[in-house]
Amino acid sequence: MKTPAGFTELTGLQLGQIVKSMGEPAYRVGQLRKWVYQRFATSFSEMTDLPQAFREKLEAKMRVSSLEVLRTVTGSDGTVKVLFELADGNTIESALMYYDGGGEGTRRYTVCVSTQAGCAIGCEFCATGQQGFERNLTSGEVIDQVLYFASYLREKDKGHKKPENDKTGRVSNVVFMGMGEPLANYDNLWRAIEMLNSAEGFGLGARNMVISTAGLVPQIKRLAKEKLQVGLAVSLHAADNELRNKLVPINRKYPLGQLIPACREYNQITGRRLSFEYILFKGINDSIVQARRLAELIKGMKCHVNLIPANSTSNPSFQPPIHRVVLAFEEELKRCHINVTLRQRRGQDIAAGCGQLRSRFIQDARSRREKSILAGKT
């Protein structure tokens, strides 16, 4: 492993020191940043306006990206999912999705990034939760996932005519909804967000980023006080403690009696609306009574409910309800005057849920290992 693993991990100060130690003028920092964050260079060798000797020195010292692609799968709806290897051999996955609004210039490209390798919260319905926790990602590793897809979009569009409704061919939104619990890795997450937002960095509006959390109350309170207006989504999935304790185990530490007031406080302090994610699991949390309970719980809040029919994982206990049940749940929420949308399902044919691709990779690796052990025995 080369250290530091990646360019984006460096602070401006560190970068300045490296540039200076190589005998180069300070303005090289800006040039380098432009190449990485705005032109999505993947190697120092393509930075042709920098002296060759300087590029070679950088090449020997660090990598532009901390990520190596292990697998890429593209779904029939255009969703692209990538399994990356980190410098220490851990694996993570990220996805690129696009959404078309009606009319010209309305195509949005959303990158869904991971913030941890694995997750310690351990929700049973979640492929990542079933894999256990490895480690927090660094801010550079978070940023590199976004830059990878920015570069991917640029390459993809080279020489092709863009669809009419795609003006930019650029990443328009970043959601922290991949593997891991973003708010359990707050400092690195926040460093990544600041860099993605900054004009010298990726230049993405804070409002175009959304953090999804299983409900870490102290961190939600901290987030409410940040200056950057990043969106917040809370994964609720149940409107009573008994059920939520089972579905989202962190609820035992931060029950609804703490979580909902923290969300109301977030509304008050920021003046912003938040989203509640509610995955519908067949026969578990999909009844009309539960819809009413949910409406009652969040009544009067500035919020929006995203209903998501479950993705099936290797755990057979968690299945999506039939469509009629999903629609009835949605209708009931509307009747109770709750803003609600049924989330378009993305990448169904390519293991769309967070952590599913990595699960398959781990299973494949295990069975390859078992096969080779068996082969060695015979």
Site track 306-345 with ligand SF4 (rule: CB under 6 A), x = hit: ----------------------------------------
Neighbours of 43 (CB within 10 A): 13
Which is nearer to ligand SAH, 321 or 353 (by Cβ)? 353
Residue 177 touching ligand SAH (CB under 6 A)? yes
Q: Which among 121-129, 255-263, 268-276, 338-346 is the span making contact with ligand SF4, rule CB under 6 A?
A: 121-129
Which residue is closest to ligand SF4 by CB? 129
Catalytic residues: 93, 354
Query: Is 86 near ligand SAH (CB under 6 A)?
Result: no
| Piece in contact with ligand SAH (CB under 6 A), picked from 119-127, 161-169, 324-332, 370-378 | 119-127
177 binds, among ligand SAH, ligand SF4, none (CB under 5 to 8 A by kind): ligand SAH
Q: What are phi and psi of 71, to 5 degrees?
A: -150, 145
d(CA 300, CA 127): 34
Cite the beta strand spans of the chain per DSSP E: 68-74, 80-85, 91-100, 107-112, 116-118, 133-136, 173-176, 209-213, 231-235, 274-280, 303-309, 340-342
Asked if 212 touches ligand SAH (CB under 6 A), the answer is yes
Q: Tell which one of 67, 123, 143, 216 touches ligand SF4 (CB under 6 A).
A: 123
CA nearest to 253, candidates 219, 301, 281:
219
Binding at 122: pick from ligand SAH, ligand SF4, none (beta carbon under 5-8 Å per type): ligand SF4
Rule CB under 6 A: say whether 311 interacts with ligand SAH: yes
Interaction between residue 277 and ligand SF4 (CB under 6 A): no
Site string for ligand SF4, 162-181 (x = CB under 6 A): ------------------xx
Residues 212-251 that bind ligand SF4 (CB under 6 A): 214
Are the C-beta atoms of residues 338 and 348 closer than 8 Å to each other?
no
Asked if residue 128 binds ligand SF4 (CB under 6 A), the reply is yes
Residue 86 near residue 117, CB atoms below 8 Å: yes
- Nearest approach, Cβ of 181 to ligand SF4 (angstroms)? 5
Residue 126, interface with ligand SF4 (CB under 6 A)? yes
Cβ-based nearer residue to ligand SAH, 147 or 279: 279
d(CA 120, CA 210) in angstroms, rounded, equals 21
Bond preceding residue 316 cis, omega within 30 of 0:
no
3-state helix, strand, coil in the chain (%, to 5): 45, 20, 40
Size of the site for ligand SF4 (CB under 6 A): 11
Q: How many CB atoms lie within 10 A of CB 198?
A: 15
260-264-267-273 Cα dihedral, nearest 10 degrees: 40
| Side-by-side strand order, sheet with 80-85 | 68-74, 80-85, 91-100, 107-112, 173-176, 209-213, 231-235, 274-280, 303-309, 340-342
Q: What is the CA radius of gyration of the chain?
A: 22
Q: Which of 208, 219, 313, 319 binds ligand SAH (CB under 6 A)?
A: 313
Minimum distance between the CB of residue 159 and ligand SAH, rounded to whole angstroms?
Answer: 35
- The span from the first CA to the last CA of the chain, in angstroms, equals 36
Does 122 bind ligand SF4 (CB under 6 A)? Our answer is: yes
Q: Determine the Cα–Cα distance for residues 93 and 355; give it in Å rounded to an integer.
A: 7
Q: Which of the ranges 7-15, 31-39, 116-124, 146-154 carries the binding residues for ligand SF4, by CB under 6 A?
A: 116-124
Q: Binding to ligand SAH by residue 305, rule CB under 6 A?
A: no
Residue from 214, 223, 259, 274 touching ligand SAH (CB under 6 A): that is: 214
Residues lying near ligand SF4 in the complex (CB under 6 A) are found at: 119, 121-123, 126, 128-129, 180-181, 214, 354
Residues lying near ligand SAH in the complex (CB under 6 A) are found at: 119, 125-126, 177, 181, 212-214, 235, 277, 279, 308, 310-311, 313, 353-354
